[in-house]
Structure 1
């Protein structure tokens, strides 16, 4: 039920927007964003090699994907969530292949290609690339943790759901700004030699993440083991 605002000068009840779900949403968004995995490494690398703005835009792509999965879970769009989860192995394999290719490309980047200038890849490519690499297992995370919050109950209003999803987006974005912003500030202190080393190491780590995950998925399929 929406909260009703009552005032001495008001003759009618005016519905207020309940902002309480924003805080748990923001906490969950931060929880998703803080762990350093291959996606975070790509954002870090872009912040150092291309500038903080590119890293932050990449973080916005991650936050958008997290918010989408939160909305799918909270609103209860079982058709969409069922479609994604029923084809999760396909999504995993594709994501792993993209990670491997991205890691190889990054590790082979030359110093001239990562020179400290303001010209680099368009922002929309940074944003969309993170959407492509979004992990469908985020649905499982939300499906596990959200029942503990009232915003997922049927009796809650649509506005509460939207505010919760906004909180997830803001939490994930906040961490991206903190991480990429702080790393981007030391960009001018890093030489092209250091950038090349960072690109090689981060590229190899990202490719290793992708290869390991791909091997795990193929082994699970071969043994007929499914998580869901």
Structure 2
């Protein structure tokens, strides 16, 4: 069991969650209106959806580990290239997006709403499949490694939402306009670094 997989996955989960899209704007608004718990509840829904898709991808890797181990090198190359592509996209983010609209007013309803909004994105499971390939999950056979990755992705994603909601709750006002830009750039840098590492590891 490679415990470092957990920490790699947590950092990756944080980097993926960090760019502020419509759900991020929603969590910021909820934090400003109703406090830390409201913002964190929205982030929890997103982290749970990420965890579900990460679980599906990880189970697939574990179930077909024997076959996937035979093509570990091309999988790492594809996964690494995908992470670099995601990182480059984050380095040049588009204009700020408006907050996602949800009618829920309580914490449970907010969590459920952001979970549904996140899990209805069909690209998410494809993204996690490519990212897990870059992490080398194909060569780390077994369900124990898979669950380490799932736990890392969920923990990293949830950590980001707690940091974001907690920071806004303490500041009690909107973040500067450049905040989203720099968060996106840092996230992009992390993803590019992971992508380069994945491609380099394929040739080791």
TM-score (normalised: structure 1): 0.54
Alignment check: 8 A CA contact 1:74 1:152 kept: no
Q: Larger RCO: Structure 1 or Structure 2 (Cα < 8 Å, ≥ 6 residues apart)?
A: 2
After superposition, the C-alpha distances for 1:115-167 in whole angstroms (9 at most, x for unaligned) are xxxxx9321111101111012311121122221223244x6121111111000
CA gap 1:51/1:152 in 2 versus in 1, 3 angstroms: farther
Matched, 1:36 2:20: yes
* 1:1-228 matched pairs, under 5 angstroms: 2=1, 18-76=2-60, 103=101, 121-134=105-118, 135-153=121-139, 156-187=141-172
CA distance in 1, matches of 2:132, 2:29: 32
- Closer, same or farther in 2 for the Cα pair 1:178/1:39, shift >3 Å? same
Q: Secondary structure at the match of 1:76?
A: helix
TM-score (norm: length of structure 2):
0.60
In the TM superposition, structure 1's runs of 4+ consecutive aligned residues that sit over 3 Å from their partners are: 100-103
Matches of 2:52 and 2:41, distance apart in 1: 17
Query: Cα RMSD (Å) of the superposition?
Result: 2.7
**Greater helix proportion:** 2
User: Unpaired runs of 5+ in structure 2?
Assistant: 62-97, 175-204
In structure 2, the partner of 1:84 is: none
Provide the C-alpha distance between the structure 1 equivalents of 2:14 and 2:138, rounded to a whole number of angstroms: 19
Contact kept in structure 1, 2:23 and 2:99, CA below 8 Å: no
CA contact (8 A) 2:28 2:168 kept: yes
Question: For each residue in 1:3-50, what CA deviation from the matched residue of structure 2 results, as whole angstroms up to 9, or x when unmatched?
Answer: xxxxxxxxxxxxxxx422101211220121111100111111101111
Runs (5+) with no aligned partner, structure 1:
3-17, 78-99, 107-119, 195-228
Looking at structure 2, the residues matched to 178 and 141 of structure 1 have their Cα atoms a distance apart, in angstroms, of: 24
Larger of the two Rg values belongs to structure: 1
CA distance in 2, matches of 1:42, 1:144: 28
Q: Distance in 1 between matches of 2:113 and 2:107?
A: 10
Instruction: Quote the Cα distance in structure 2 between the aligned partners of 1:175 and 1:61.
Output: 13
CA-CA distance at 1:101 after TM superposition: 11
- The answer (yes or no) to whether the contact 2:31–2:169 under 8 Å persists in 1 is yes
Per the alignment, in what secondary structure is the counterpart of residue 21 of structure 1? helix
